[in-house]
Amino acid sequence: MSGSPSEGTGPDQGEDAGGSEDVSGAARFFFLKTTFALLLVALLIVGGFFSYGLLVKESLPDLEIPQAIVTTQWPGADPATIEEQVTQEIEDELTTLPRLKALNSASFDSYSIISVEFEASADAAASVQELRAAVADAEANLPDEAEAPTIEQVSVENRPILTLSLYGDADIAVLSDLGENLQDRLERVSGVNEVELSGARDEIVQVLLEPERLLALGLSPARVSAAIQRANLEQPFGEIESEQLGAIVRLEGQFRTVADLESLPVARFGEGATGRAVLLGEVATVRRQLENEESRAFYSTEGEEFRRSIDLSIKKVPGGDTIAVIGNVLSEMEDAAAMGSWPQGVSYDVIQDDADEIGESLTNVLVNGLQAMAAVFLILFLVLSWREGLLAGLSIPVTFFGVLIVILLFGYSLNELVIIGMVLALGLLVDVFILMMEGLHEDIYQRGKSFGQAALGTVKKYAVPAFAGQLTTVLALVPLMAIGGVSGKFIRVLPVTTITCLVLAYAIALLATVPLSRYLLGRAAEKDHSGEGKSRSDKLAESWAERLRTWLSEKVLASRKRAWAWVGGALGAFVLSLLAVSQVPLVLYPPTDGETLGINIELPPETQLESAQEVADEVGAMLRQKPYFESVVMLAGRKSPFASTSPADTLQPSESENFVGFSAVFVDRGDRDEPSYVLADQLRKELGTYLDENVAGASLLVVSESQGPPTGDPIEIELTGPNMDELQDLSEQVQDYLSGVEGVVDVRDNLGSVKREIALRPDREALDFYGLTQEDLAAQIRFGLANDKIGEFSTVGPEDDLDIRMGTNWPSHAGEAGAPRRIEELSQIRAFTPDGGSVSVLSLLRPVQSQAPIAISHVDGQRALTVLAKNEGRPVTEIVEGVTPELEQMAQGWPAGYEFRIAGEAEETAETFGSAGIALAVALVMVFGVLVIVFDSFPQAFILLTTMPLALIGTFLGFFLFGMSLSFFAMIGVISLIGIVANNGIVMVDNMNGRLAGGCGIDEAAALGASERLRPILTTSVTTLVGLVPLALGNPMYAPLCLAIIFGLLSSTVLSLVVVPALYLLLTRKNRESASSLG
């Protein structure tokens, strides 16, 4: 040979190439010359670096599944009226939307909320646009008094990405004003969808009517309200068209001072000069103040005493870059704190920051991946020479750089599943590099060929088997992309990543690794043509291969009877594994060691805020002293945003005086002894015991952070029927039963406790006698019981206008707005007749006391109520299997028209595992079809397919023996196994066919085919196993996926070396022409 092997071009790269005259110019260019290879590698590395900088980085995929909330306000309307005239009108339009998956709603006092969810595969933008059009059509049929519906698109995981706490030496008015200003400011930050305030009190203009004065003057509250609304008006009149006086003319009648409002004439008595105007200040107290306190927030860090605070929970727009949004919000907070208007003595703390969690999560998984890559390097160095190990090892990061380019082009983010897809592909893509390096190693070191001969010979021999192996793996993974539902969309990026890795690895192995091997193997080829340059690993591999060949010949292939015995033993083991896995519980996602914890306590409905505060103080003192909490936010009158994990939670009230909430953040994992989900279970028992012993009628909900898409509560039982009272009774019946089931905790329903209701039924004859309508009566009574908004008060400067609220000044409230607290106050509510007289409302209405839910809920247009519960210590599937027969028997005694349905995580689990089972079957069929085409033999395709049951033996028995649950990620691992284990069999059977075609007998070909492929099979299997071990140990969420592959690959690697040769002996025809080598 002439020239230096280190040169990119020259005679050496056109060397004899095996002495064949028929080598094409394309083959020489791609496999012998290094120019294209260097260009390809440079392009992938540079492109990968740029892609990494441009990719959105998240811990988990942000699912852009079209979901939205439609909210309609109608102040003063009761839930039944809201349901009939608002909710049903909108639902009738929405039910016709294409690709609609779920339609849930709740009709509350004064407002309606409808949750709309489309199928996971629907286009988000188009679906939301169609939703807006349908709501616009429904708006025309709504009552005039109802406000225009608002539509808010929400994320599947509707939880805060950042939580801030404002605290310091300032009163609540200062903190509230600062909180509201920051809310407005942060909601303008790019990527922020909503900022929720907890503990703040809005400033309002309060009009408190004096009932005695109204009665003395014969003036109705409705008349006062109408006078205020008529006088509080601003509107343009037009324009004066004149060169001298040209100007726009507008009416400025909106109130701007309290004095303006107090001096408003609300009535006039008498005619002409003798008449007198009654001013608002004569019949009401008017003042600018903070609204009534409805909730409070307190903040404690590192066990300190709680301090009064205002908390801001920031949610991002669906699909937004979490890290970028948080960075922009924190930058905006720094700018706000640096301004002169920031109150003295007020500080803020970051309570929860998803950016830190994402960074830590990605770093952990990335470290696991780097550990796996380092281990693979080490194995390749030991098994091959340092040259081949270095070449194969360096090809791995080049492949991963290329994957980043493709991920960016596909529009995915860089998240844990992408990195796991790379780690999963690590062992698979190493296989093709090992094959090429093995071929070069054997030809150069053992057969003494030149580099050109070795390169072209290796490509010719292994390109087709490698392609078949990669293709079977790709086809095994493709059905994963078709799994439906939220879980299917959540997992989709994983098979996409792995498939991309495999395709790129095959291209890089042929077009980069082989030609660039010249730089390390070219000189070795010049120095050693004798075939005697065997390394210690070569000699060891040959020794073990010979031992395997001898053992197979004597113990397995000595007769067909022995071969059948080994196959029968493997079949028996597979049947045993099926029996074992039938005892393994199914879970959708394993528990995870999250950072946050949400706690909600619901007290009896009649509980006042002060009583709720007492419970909050007691429980808060217990929580802040826990050494495993870094900080705790205590909420009185409000639920914890950390306990709200999905858009369905928006159908439940989040603020009421009988709610107590806690948002806790755990210390780092290294500073506590147990994972967060274990501590959450312990805390649930401790708090449950305390509430049972000290707080009558309290219900508890503890929600630990989870990874994976939200799927609802583990146990959801939807009750449907025509009457809400009956549904409430059935709900209590189901709750009582579930509370006694082992492993079921946090039992409740989606509407909470019922409230005492006083239904006022009109005496129609009396109303007619006094000349009153029900509408007149309702308007007058409303102001005696509620504090309604009747207008807006204009403020000076950029501040938002203030609400004008009107209520009655009852003595029991000591000058604050609110409903009567005493019977005698209730009896003082009077209705004013058109002639100026008055009559007690009790003369016009007959009160009937009952109980009623706080809302009327619908599921897909039907009245419904959902019983919710969580599991503890038992799998959801096991619980549901046990309770379903009991519920069916219970339902037999229910009135006609009332049914139940299992929903939530249990339903999602059944749907997801069903899809995964179909994907597994499709993968098997596709792989079998490819194998039949590649080998042109049904028996040999069947032989290769048996590697799958051999893998399942290890997976099923492993999960059974270690007491693990079979999760969705474990199923992903099982499906991935198909391609992994088939690769080993393909090369083995191809080698057997080559030996058979070369003149060996079937038994000898089977023994040699297995023994000669021992080293590449073991190398591939070990690199895959070693690559997955760090990830299995580093993250409990992905451990099932890794262990499913590890257990399966271990059993398949060992058993396939025995069963595949045995089946080859039993199923191969004796005429050698039937066997053909892929090479």
DSSP per-residue codes, 419-445: HHHHHHHHHHHHHHHHHHHHHHHIIII
Helix, strand, coil share (%) of the chain residues, nearest 5 = 55, 20, 25
Cβ atoms within 10 Å of 147's Cβ, excluding its own: 13
Name, in order, each residue with C-beta under 8 angstroms of 1074's C-beta and a sequence gap of 6 or more: 937, 1068
Q: How far is CA 144 from CA 140, 148, 235, 692, 958, in A?
A: 9, 9, 20, 48, 66
Residue 102 phi/psi, 5-degree rounding, is -145, 140
Determine the pLDDT at residue 21: 45
Determine the pLDDT at residue 16: 46
- β pairing state of 203-209 and 802-808: parallel
Residue the block writes with tokens 């790129």: 504
Determine the pLDDT at residue 634: 93
Q: Would you state the structure tokens that stand for residue 712, as one six-digit string?
A: 């609802």
Q: What is the band of 18 on the pLDDT scale with cuts at 50, 70, 90? A: very low
In 3-state terms, what secondary structure has residue 105? strand
What single letter denotes the amino acid at residue 1050? L
What mean pLDDT comes out for the span 978-998? Answer: 81
Closest by Cα among 665, 656, 560, 542 to 604: 656
Q: What is the pLDDT of residues 258-286, one digit of tens each?
A: 898 899 998 888 776 667 888 999 999 99
Q: Contact at 8 Å (CB) between 155 and 117?
A: no
Q: What is the band of 9 on the pLDDT scale with cuts at 50, 70, 90? A: very low
Closest by Cα among 602, 601, 638 to 619: 601
**Higher per-residue pLDDT: 577 or 244:** 577
- Helical axes 560-581 vs 1039-1067, angle rounded to 10°: 150
CA dist 872 and 747 (Å) reads 12
Determine the pLDDT at residue 1048: 92
Q: Given a cut of 50, is residue 588 above it in pLDDT? A: yes
Question: How much of the chain, in percent, has pLDDT values that exceed 70?
Answer: 91
Q: What is the pLDDT of residues 216-231, one digit of tens each?
A: 888 888 889 889 888 8
CA dist 307 and 782 (Å) reads 37
Question: How much of the chain, in percent, has pLDDT values that exceed 90?
Answer: 18
Q: Contact at 8 Å (CB) between 1025 and 980?
A: no
Q: What is the pLDDT of residues 876-887, one digit of tens each?
A: 888 888 899 999
- Which range, of 44-53, 709-718, 1046-1055, averages the lowest pLDDT? 709-718
Q: What angle do CA 1024, 1030, 1034 make, to 5 degrees?
A: 140
Q: Given a cut of 90, is residue 1078 above it in pLDDT? A: no
Helix H or strand E encompassing 213: helix 211-217
Q: Contact at 8 Å (CB) between 706 and 59?
A: no
| Domains of the chain from N-terminus onward | 1-63+357-522 (1.20.1640.10), 64-154 (3.30.70.1430), 203-290+756-852 (3.30.2090.10), 293-310+593-705 (3.30.70.1430)
Average pLDDT value for the chain: 82
- Which range, of 288-292, 481-485, 582-586, 765-769, averages the lowest pLDDT? 481-485
In 3-state terms, what secondary structure has residue 456? helix
Q: Given a cut of 80, is residue 671 above it in pLDDT? A: yes
Q: What is the band of 653 on the pLDDT scale with cuts at 50, 70, 90? A: confident
Closest by Cα among 366, 364, 545, 373 to 1024: 373
- Which range, of 243-247, 927-931, 1059-1063, averages the lowest pLDDT? 243-247
Q: What is the band of 24 on the pLDDT scale with cuts at 50, 70, 90? A: low
Q: Report the range out of 71-75, 370-374, 523-527, 782-786 with the highest average pLDDT.
A: 71-75
Q: Given a cut of 50, is residue 1072 above it in pLDDT? A: no
Q: Report the range out of 46-60, 614-628, 761-775 with the highest average pLDDT.
A: 614-628
Q: What is the band of 85 on the pLDDT scale with cuts at 50, 70, 90? A: very high
Q: Given a cut of 90, is residue 373 above it in pLDDT? A: no
Determine the pLDDT at residue 614: 94
Helix H or strand E encompassing 663: strand 655-666
Q: Given a cut of 70, is residue 1073 above it in pLDDT? A: no
Q: What is the band of 623 on the pLDDT scale with cuts at 50, 70, 90? A: very high
Q: What is the band of 467 on the pLDDT scale with cuts at 50, 70, 90? A: confident
- Which range, of 310-314, 418-422, 856-860, averages the lowest pLDDT? 418-422
Burial of 515 (0-12, 13-18, 19+ CB in 10 A): buried
Q: What is the band of 157 on the pLDDT scale with cuts at 50, 70, 90? A: low
Q: Which runs of E-coded beta strand occur in 191-259?
A: 192-198, 203-209, 234-240, 247-252
- Which range, of 144-158, 694-708, 931-945, 1043-1057, averages the lowest pLDDT? 144-158
Q: What is the pLDDT of residues 186-218, one digit of tens each?
A: 999 998 888 988 888 888 888 998 888 888 888
Determine the pLDDT at residue 10: 40
CA dist 582 and 878 (Å) reads 12
Determine the pLDDT at residue 526: 55
What mean pLDDT comes out for the span 608-631? Answer: 92
Determine the pLDDT at residue 62: 73
- Which range, of 501-510, 519-528, 537-546, averages the lowest pLDDT? 519-528
Residue 644 phi/psi, 5-degree rounding, is -105, 115
Q: What is the pLDDT of residues 770-785, one digit of tens each?
A: 888 888 788 788 888 8
Q: Contact at 8 Å (CB) between 104 and 114?
A: yes
Determine the pLDDT at residue 1062: 92
DSSP code of residue 854: S
CA dist 408 and 403 (Å) reads 9
Burial of 285 (0-12, 13-18, 19+ CB in 10 A): middle
What mean pLDDT comes out for the span 453-461? Answer: 81
What mean pLDDT comes out for the span 1052-1072? Answer: 84
Q: Would you state the structure tokens that stand for residue 510, as one six-digit string?
A: 């042929």
Q: What is the band of 798 on the pLDDT scale with cuts at 50, 70, 90? A: low
What mean pLDDT comes out for the span 861-883? Answer: 85
CA dist 558 and 551 (Å) reads 10
Q: Which residues pair with 279 in a beta bridge?
A: 265
**Higher per-residue pLDDT: 25 or 988:** 988
Helices (H), 786-874: 823-827
- Which range, of 629-643, 785-799, 1033-1047, averages the lowest pLDDT? 785-799
Q: Given a cut of 80, is residue 1077 above it in pLDDT? A: no
Q: What is the pLDDT of residues 159-181, one digit of tens each?
A: 788 989 998 888 888 888 899 89
Q: Given a cut of 80, is residue 1031 above it in pLDDT? A: no
Q: Contact at 8 Å (CB) between 1067 and 942?
A: yes
In 3-state terms, what secondary structure has residue 923? helix
Q: How many Cα atoms are found within 13 Å in the side-chain-facing hemisphere of 445?
A: 19
Q: Given a cut of 60, is residue 155 above it in pLDDT? A: yes
What mean pLDDT comes out for the span 793-821? Answer: 78
Cβ atoms within 10 Å of 836's Cβ, excluding its own: 11
Q: What angle do CA 503, 986, 491 make, to 5 degrees?
A: 45
CA dist 875 and 591 (Å) reads 11
- Helical axes 938-945 vs 904-935, angle rounded to 10°: 140
**Higher per-residue pLDDT: 569 or 429:** 569
Question: How far is CA 530 from its chain centroid?
Answer: 61
Determine the pLDDT at residue 15: 47
